[in-house]
Amino acid sequence: MTNYDSVDIFTDVGVATRPDPFIEHLRSKGPATWLRPDVVAVTDYATGLAIFRDEEHYSTVNCTFGPMELPFKVEGDDITDLIEAHRDQIPYGNLILNQDPPHHAKSKGVLMGIITPKRLKENEEFLVTLADRQIDEFFKDGKFEVITQYSQPFATLAIADLLGVPEEDRPTFKTLTGSLPGEIGGVAPEDVSSNPLAQIGIFFFKYIEDRRANPQKDVLTDLALQKYPDGTLPSTVDIVTAATFLFGAGQDTSVRLIAAMLRYLAEDQELQQRLRADYSLIPKFTEEVLRLEGTAKATFRLVKKKVKIGDIEVKPGTSVMLMIRAMNRDGKRFENPADLDIARRNSQEHVAFGRGIHACAGAPLARAEARVTLERLFDRTKNIRINEAKHGPANAREYNYWKNYLLRGITELHLEFDPA
């Protein structure tokens, strides 16, 4: 029996790949508990939701990867100004996900200028064609590996279309995948330029500079010329940062969401038939999968001002680990929380996409990608099922997951199907 009191969540591969027993151990200690002297874990839905919405006491400067050695000495009961003065020295500190008000509002304005309702509708029309193209590549085989043959290229090209990437460059984008924060035992590349997101950034820097010099009637020109809410023109770097952020975040979320949905359906033929008979159930199913198997297991906040979390007094400079997976399985909020129930009335109360000002701007895109995927697969196939030669029989399945303390994702999923 594992002694969870001695487990280090940041290095233990067993907890990373099988998190739920450890999560329930933490939950048994109360809404918040110390993981180590500089980190508090929150498992309670109501407590975590309040922190998501509290920009006064918490900074998101550390949300990308968690606890860190701060580049300044913590002094006093309020370190807000110290964080801002040293933000450039904090890894990813200027990424939109890590920004605090008021700077975050300007950056999110750029992002929302990209993800407009009109652009999402146009993109959704493309998704149908894109889904069929991907299915065509393996349709005759009667089997496929979900991530490499479908969800990864599908999600990447979906965002490429949303951002107006020229058709001739899309084959290159199809091969580029985002970085993986929180990977246990992972080694960061010495050459930053080898990071796929850096390569995507180089493309977009050229696009934006070209469209500002030579405007055209296309999405990239709209992107290049959009303005902040105050009417000023963002720098090229600000727009490039927003575009590359969408690629990284979109891949993590959509790729693993699609895989998780298909695993549930391939394991549960009765559920699969219910959805095949009534496509209107797909959105409810999507929300339940997001609640149970959302890509983000956790995110972080840095305490700016002295605050009380549950019964714990927390000083500035402390990292708070918001256990999203635990919050989404809180029995006080969700009845029978471990069950997938497409009739659940409050499924959308999950926090898989975060809450507050940092709620995921790309959530509508991820939901659209998931829905279109199931509709096109249902139209073109019958009897989607687990490939038992790859994953074993029903009573002894074998699946591998990311060795990651932040993110949850199956590494491969092999399925079989009959043509419709």
What is the spatial distance between Cα 72 and Cα 380, in angstroms, rounded to a whole number? 58
Q: Is the pLDDT of residue 187 over 50?
A: no
| Structure-token match 């700077």, residue found | 103
Give the long-range contacts of residues 270-279, CB within 8 A, separation 24 or more: 271/340, 271/342, 272/384, 274/342, 275/374, 275/378, 276/378, 279/374, 279/375, 279/378
Residue 31 three-state SS: coil
* Total domains, the chain: 1
Length of the chain: 420
Which has the closest alpha carbon to 299: 259, 251, 336, 353? 353
> Could you tell me if 300 and 337 are in contact, meaning their C-beta atoms sit under 8 angstroms apart?
no
319's tokens: 């990292």
- Which DSSP symbol is given to 5? G
36's tokens: 């180590």
Question: Which is higher by pLDDT, 242 or 182?
Answer: 242
> Could you tell me if 19 and 297 are in contact, meaning their C-beta atoms sit under 8 angstroms apart?
yes
Mean pLDDT confidence for 204-209: 93
Distance (Å) of CA 78 to CA 188, 242, 284: 32, 30, 43
Phi, psi of 378 (to 5 degrees): -65, -40
Q: Is the pLDDT of residue 257 over 50?
A: yes
Residue numbers of the domain that contains 334: 4-419
DSSP run (H or E) holding 272: helix 269-277
Which has the closest alpha carbon to 104: 296, 319, 418, 361? 361
> Could you tell me if 252 and 371 are in contact, meaning their C-beta atoms sit under 8 angstroms apart?
no
Encode pLDDT of 43-67 as tens digits.
999 999 999 999 999 999 999 888 9
> Could you tell me if 156 and 236 are in contact, meaning their C-beta atoms sit under 8 angstroms apart?
no
Q: Residue 186's pLDDT is what? A: 54
Which has the closest alpha carbon to 36: 26, 47, 24, 21? 26
pLDDT band at 391 (very low <50, low <70, confident <90, very high): very high
Q: Residue 328's pLDDT is what? A: 98
Encode pLDDT of 351-371 as tens digits.
999 999 999 888 999 999 999
Q: Is the pLDDT of residue 177 over 70?
A: no
Q: Is the pLDDT of residue 10 over 50?
A: yes
pLDDT band at 89 (very low <50, low <70, confident <90, very high): very high
Q: Residue 419's pLDDT is what? A: 94
Q: Is the pLDDT of residue 386 over 60?
A: yes
Percent residues over pLDDT 70 in the chain: 96
Encode pLDDT of 284-319 as tens digits.
999 999 999 999 999 999 999 999 999 999 999 999
Name residues whose C-beta falls within 8 Å of residue 360's C-beta, 6 or more positions apart in sequence: 249, 253, 353, 354, 366
Q: Is the pLDDT of residue 3 over 90?
A: no
Mean pLDDT confidence for 220-236: 87
Encode pLDDT of 189-206 as tens digits.
444 455 677 788 899 999
Which has the closest alpha carbon to 162: 205, 130, 135? 130
| Structure-token match 């829905």, residue found | 371
Q: Residue 176's pLDDT is what? A: 73
Q: Is the pLDDT of residue 108 over 90?
A: no
Encode pLDDT of 308-355 as tens digits.
999 999 999 999 999 999 999 999 999 999 999 999 999 999 999 999
Encode pLDDT of 395-418 as tens digits.
999 999 999 999 999 999 999 999
Name residues whose C-beta falls within 8 Å of residue 307's C-beta, 6 or more positions apart in sequence: 57, 58, 314
Question: Which is higher by pLDDT, 147 or 193?
Answer: 147
Report the DSSP pairing between strands 143-145 and 381-386.
Answer: unpaired
What is the spatial distance between Cα 248 and Cα 161, in angstroms, rounded to a whole number? 15
pLDDT band at 36 (very low <50, low <70, confident <90, very high): very high
- Beta partners for residue 307, in sequence order: 314
Q: Residue 174's pLDDT is what? A: 81
Q: Residue 190's pLDDT is what? A: 45
Which alpha helices (DSSP H) does 38-99 contain, by range?
Answer: 45-52, 80-85
What is the spatial distance between Cα 141 and Cα 401, in angstroms, rounded to a whole number? 26
- Note the maximum CA span of the chain: 66
Q: Residue 94's pLDDT is what? A: 83
**What CATH number is given to the structural domain containing 154?**
1.10.630.10
What is the spatial distance between Cα 200 and Cα 267, in angstroms, rounded to a whole number? 36
- Beta partners for residue 299, in sequence order: 322
Q: Residue 366's pLDDT is what? A: 93
Average pLDDT, the chain: 91
